[in-house]
A and B are shown apart, each in its own frame.
Chain A
Amino acid sequence: MNWYPFLTGLSAPQQLHIPDGFLSAPVAIIGWVLAVLTIAYALRQTREQLGERQIPLLGVLAAFIFAAQAINFPVAGGTSGHLLGGALAAIVLGPWAAVLVMTAVIALQGLLFQDGGLLVMGWNIINMGILTAFTGYLIYLAIKRIGGSEQRSILIGGAIGAWLSVEVGASATAIQLALSGTTPLNIGLPAMFGVHALIGIGEALITVGALALILRSRPDLLRQGEQAGGTASAAWVAGGLLISLIVAIFSFAASGSPDGLERVAEDHGFIGSALDPVYHILPDYTIPFIPNETVSGIVAVVLGTLVVFGVAMMIGRMIKTERAESHS
């Protein structure tokens, strides 16, 4: 239909904080599970890296991110560029510390100011706190590795990392909305991706400006962030999450239908039949209010994601042990 582009432009919110009601309960709960796992791991990692400094450093830096989100600059016609901060936090603090900092910001925004809902906070944390941090960090590292440690590659890495982090966060939001049957993917994804391509430029400019200043005054801080351990496991976990999301995109891409999870679960009826044994083991097992097909769909996604996660953690741990052994 030739009016799709019109709808597309209209349906992209500029802020990524999803309020309650826009994601379905199953989708929201999956988000919480993934967020909790990642946060738990981040708490462990940062406790190892930072020791007692964990609380004062991350607490004040969370307040910083919150305040820094108010620092904007005029772009055109009354709109302004602003900072989300996940990439910047990850580049300076390391990805796991950044996850905690952003989680604190998002939690406070949701709880205290109702910027973002409570049930959907799991996904908000993932979109704005975890995906942004990992994307920004890994791109930054990759470009530094390619380009060497001079200022230029740091700034380019920061810029691209920041821009991409916003796009990844926005795309993930679109996917969750599609899975919940709120916005069809073929409208939501291009809309979010497009709008946030512009917003991402603001993020990139501010991130680079900040990095440039920090580089000039306290380059030691940037070096600390890079050496923040857990890079390898971060890469695997990030890879795992991204793969899960890509799989989700391909599963739903063909479906312009707004029925999201239910419809796809029907389409892929084989998932349901593969899980028949489960229903035999637990006869009459139905979750009230949720049809069986949806249960199959949910179980499939959750299992799949947990498997990828688990594999990622295992590999991460193996790499760490190997490294430790080769150093000793």
Chain B
Amino acid sequence: MHIHFTDQYHEGESLIHRLDPRVKVILTVTFILTVSLTPFGAFGSYVMLFALLMATAVSAHMAPIYLLKRSIIALPFALAAITLPFTVPGDTLATVPIFGGITISQAGTIRFVSILIKSWLSVQMAIILVTVTPFPAVLWALRALRLPSPLIAIVSLMYRYLFVLYEEATRLLRARAARSATVDGVRSGGSIVWRGQVAGRMAGSLMLRSFERSERIYNAMLARGYKGQLRTVAHSHLQTIDFLVGTVTVLILLTILLFARIW
């Protein structure tokens, strides 16, 4: 898995950083929804959306290269769409001379490329969101936007202990590696089933320790008066700039969408 435990959040004082986290979450989702509703082949709109994206990144003092590098994460899934140039009916774009001639259709290719572009645009906006907003603020925003607070509390606690447990898992893996030796002339590694079992036991022992840790945490919470609810204070208050940026962005997105539909 791709874990970058160096914080996703990059501190900054830009306009974007200072926006209310609720506005940032809503705008990110609206952007992704707009991308989703933009039809296939609307390349003009894709360019405009990209421009909006870059404008946001630049005003957040983010290096576009950073965005580019991290957006590669969605790439492997492109496989799922790879059949489109071959299966969507339409005008033939080209023919590949294997298996008796496979046709590549224009419509299919446009759809395939569109999906890749849309996916790429969406993931970049999602990256910007967590780069300019500390994760606890994102969670607070979700809670303020009426997501159920026990669920947010669970994610919060998970976030707190994420690194701790991930480290434990890493140490288990290192301990296993330290005992994964070979001898000349003998086949090593055991059978797949054995290796799977060992991995399972590692997971099982980590799970047991997690149960015990959760008990200790529960007791610590009780000792501080916990009665089942985790309370927080407001992270931020809406200001004029939030309404301004929010409205302007939504209008821009609507315009791009209308343009795509009418064009």
Interface residues of A (CB under 8 A from B): 1-3, 6-7, 10-15, 17-22, 24-25, 28, 39-40, 43, 47, 51-64, 66-76, 81, 83, 88, 92, 100-101, 103-105, 107-108, 110-115, 117-119, 177, 181-184, 187-188, 201-202, 204-214, 217-218, 221, 256-258, 288-289
Contacts and interface: CB of A to CB of B under 8 A. Distances in A.
Interface in B33-79: 33, 35-37, 39, 70-71, 73-74, 76-77, 79
18 contacts: A21-B117, A59-B154, A59-B160, A59-B214, A60-B157, A60-B165, A61-B210, A63-B161, A68-B206, A73-B196, A88-B207, A112-B135, A187-B83, A205-B192, A205-B197, A209-B199, A212-B200, A258-B111
B245 interface: no
Contacts of A221: 208, 211
A187 B81 CA distance: 11
Given A183-B81, A209-B197, A221-B211, A63 B1 contact: no
A307 B224 CA distance: 45
B143 to A, nearest CB: 13
**Most chain B beta-carbon contacts within 10 A, residue among A2, A6, A73, A76:** A73
Contact of B84 (A17, A39, A258): A258
Contact of B155 (A24, A108, A258): A108
Nearest to B82: A11
**Most chain A beta-carbon contacts within 10 A, residue among B73, B196, B211, B213:** B196
Contacts of B1: 69-70, 115
Contacts of B164: 63
Interface stretch (B16-24, B121-129, B232-240): B121-129
Main secondary structure of the interface of A (DSSP, over half): helix
B252 interface: no
Contacts of A210: 200-201, 203-204, 207
Contacts of A72: 199
Contact of B217 (A6, A51, A60, A177): A60
Interface string B201-227: 111111110110111011001100011
Given A117-B126, A205-B200, A210-B204, 8 more contacts: A2-B99, A13-B76, A19-B122, A21-B115, A55-B150, A58-B154, A66-B166, A71-B199
B156 interface: yes
Given A21-B118, A68-B207, A209 B192 contact: no
B72 to A, nearest CB: 10
B249 interface: no
Main secondary structure of the interface of B (DSSP, over half): helix
Contacts of B197: 205, 208-209, 212
A83 B194 CA distance: 16
Contacts of A113: 2-4, 8, 73
Given A11-B79, A59-B214, A217 B98 contact: no
A71 B202 contact: yes
B158 interface: yes
**Most chain A beta-carbon contacts within 10 A, residue among B80, B157, B192:** B80
A31 to B, nearest CB: 12
A115 B119 CA distance: 12
B243 interface: no
Contacts of B196: 73, 81, 201-202, 204-206, 208-209
The 4 closest A-B pairs by CB, nearest first: A209-B200, A205-B196, A59-B157, A21-B119
A11 B80 contact: yes
Contact of A62 (B154, B200, B215): B154
Contacts of B250: none
A114 B70 contact: yes
B36 A184 contact: no
Contacts of B201: 209-210, 212-213
B170 interface: yes
B130 A208 contact: no
B92 to A, nearest CB: 15
Contacts of B156: 59
B104 interface: no
Nearest to A183: B80
B86 to A, nearest CB: 7
